[in-house]
């Protein structure tokens, strides 16, 4: 009989200052914070939005991928797993953010500006690349988007948001049978909330992580209490 692997805690929403200009914490510091917060890994979901870009797009998207590579190197050296994610904000929907899991580094390097798409175009792009799109913090400064077009939504535990709105998020997810994730949305601007999703310890790659959350719509979550 195959022995069930133990579970590890993954923070599904984090930012580093090398790309996310609103973040105050470097890739190396982020790994230190994860260790201090007793999480086993993280998804690096740096901002992908026009307001964050102040250089030619081709140069920026390479730096976007390089920041993940650097963070993963630091994580591997310290025993922290780092998976690749993207948080996209569309020019046409500036109040909404979408965490995307499953777009590879090569897809980011080979695609044009995702933030110029319409919402249906972004969803089609994500799904055509076998990735998953979640509405991040759906009750922070906005209301949920059309749940029939997305794959999941998020219980976001950033302390400055006041509340993770868990009950409202779960009701939204239940209405459309959506997947759930959980993350700290950590930017180094306050303490890091201890939260995330529990996944099997033998998951080591972003591909395996995405396959797991695709097959498990409602993984066990660790949700930080409201501040």
DSSP string, 18-70: TT-TT----HHHHHHHHHHTT-SEEEE--EE-GGG--S-HHHHHHHHHHHHHH
Percent of all residues in the chain with a pLDDT value above 70, rounded to a whole number: 98
Q: Mean pLDDT across the stretch 58-85?
A: 98
> What does the pLDDT look like over 93-110, one tens digit per residue?
999 999 999 999 999 999
Mean pLDDT over the full length of the chain: 96
Q: Residue 3: is its pLDDT beyond 60?
A: no
Distance, CA of 121 to CA of 114 (rounded, Å): 9
Question: For the whole prediction, is pTM greater than 0.85?
Answer: yes
Kindly state the average pLDDT of the residues 20-25: 97
The percentage of the chain sitting over the pLDDT mark of 90, rounded to a whole number, equals 96
Tokens describing residue 90: 């569309």
């Amino acid at each position: 009989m195959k022995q069930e692997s133990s579970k590890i805690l993954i923070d599904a929403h984090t930012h580093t200052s090398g790309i996310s200009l609103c973040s105050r914490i470097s890739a190396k510091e982020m790994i230190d914070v994860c260790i201090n917060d007793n999480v086993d890994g993280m998804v690096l979901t740096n901002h992908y939005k026009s307001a964050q870009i102040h250089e030619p797009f081709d140069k920026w998207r390479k730096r976007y991928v390089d920041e993940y590579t650097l963070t993963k190197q630091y994580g591997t050296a310290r025993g922290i797993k780092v998976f690749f994610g993207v948080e996209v904000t569309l020019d046409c929907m500036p109040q909404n953010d979408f965490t995307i899991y499953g777009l590879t580094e090569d897809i980011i390097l080979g695609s044009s500006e995702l933030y110029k798409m319409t919402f249906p175009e972004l969803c089609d792009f994500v799904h055509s690349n076998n990735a998953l799109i979640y509405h991040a913090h759906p009750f922070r400064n906005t209301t949920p988007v059309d749940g029939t077009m997305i794959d999941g939504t998020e219980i976001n535990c950033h302390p400055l948001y006041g509340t993770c709105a868990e009950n409202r998020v779960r009701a939204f997810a239940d209405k459309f049978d959506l997947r759930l994730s959980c993350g700290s949305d950590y930017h180094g601007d306050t303490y890091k909330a201890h939260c995330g999703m529990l996944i099997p310890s033998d998951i080591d790659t972003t591909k395996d992580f995405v396959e797991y959350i695709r097959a498990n719509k409602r993984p066990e979550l660790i949700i930080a209490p409201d501040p």
